[in-house]
Amino acid sequence: MRRAFITGITGQDGSYLTELLLDKGYEVHGIVRRTSALARSRLDHLYHDAAIYGHRLFLHYADLDDPTTLRRALLKAAPAEVYHLAGQSHVGLSFDIPESTCELTAMGTLRLLEMMRDLPQPARLFHPASSEVFGRPAAAPQAEATPFAPVNPYGCAKAFAAHMVRVYRATFGLFACNGIMYNHESPRRGENFVTRKICRGAAAIKLGLETGLALGDLEAQRDWGHARDYVRAMWLMLQGERPDDYVIATGQLHAVQDVVQVAFGAVQLDWRPYVRRDERFLRPAEPHNLVGNPVKARRQLGWEPTVSFEQMIQEMTGAELAGLSSLAGLPR
């Protein structure tokens, strides 16, 4: 049974990746922070499955800023594949907490690379870079050779981490891949991300729980895909003969307003009476023209996105409608 080790296992990507690996027959180990709260909602269905947890799924207490616990968990798991998904991943928040963003996202990756050099048995590493490393690129779409030019602390931290992965691959022969991941969403997305906020807002307004939705720049554009598709690309990268870097994207741009229109359309509402612009949600520096070219991933990995933008936003809005109805005791 192949073993995988996941940092950030309780996040959106970590939970989908865990399901994928378990379906493929892996034994999965993940690290979690020791907190007073035991709820890990994205993994609860697996954590409470007696046939899985403690048999094929194992959680270890560790943290990226505590090298001793991370090293101990890594040695105990003895994995063949490591998926490094943990870190501070909110772009807007990185302007408020730049030091901790760089400590977790940049230095946390470097510490893990150093630990992997010392493993008794070599393991393969997946690292998620981000479209934010490109910042405001001169050309679109972006490919693997597009120069890094980040415009926010999160992008800077990801650029450092991605470069270090390349250095360790070239210098120490580590099988390490960067997935330059464009925005990917799902019903498991964090509530402070704009797609989830919009879908939740539309559902709450439909149910009469809210009267309006405040957003920043409705014209901001992103290349949005579904997290289930993107974790499949992560796995594919570690199955090849040679490590490399890959852009994982849909190749299509959509504006925040497109998210709004699809989400409100899913609940049969006209969005215009309810959505207002709030300057507080504007970022100091907004990337532009971030759209990826996934041709290399298609050719070398056989990867294709399977969920359309509209299907994804409709799924997210439907999940919010069901969840809020249940919390409010309303009929679905």
10 Å Cβ neighbour count for 256? 19
Is 249 in contact with 294 (CB distance < 8 Å)? yes
User: Active-site positions?
Assistant: 130, 132, 154
**Rounded to whole angstroms, how far apart are CA atoms 32 and 166?**
27
Encoded tokens for 35? 């907190």
Q: d(Cα 90, Cα 96) in Å, to the nearest integer?
A: 10
Give the start-end residues of each E strand in the chain.
Answer: 3-7, 27-32, 57-61, 81-84, 124-130, 176-181, 184-185, 213-215, 221-222, 225-226, 245-248, 254-255, 275-277
3-state secondary structure of 29: strand
Compute the distance between CA of residue 322 and CA of residue 332 in angstroms, rounded to an integer.
Answer: 6
CA distance 88 to 105: 6
Cα–Cα dist 190/199, whole Å: 12
| Of 243, 188, 172, 161, nearest in space to 13 by CA | 188
Q: Which residues of 137-163 are buried (b: 16+ CB within 10 A; e: fewer)?
A: beeebbeeebebebbbbbbbbbbbbbe
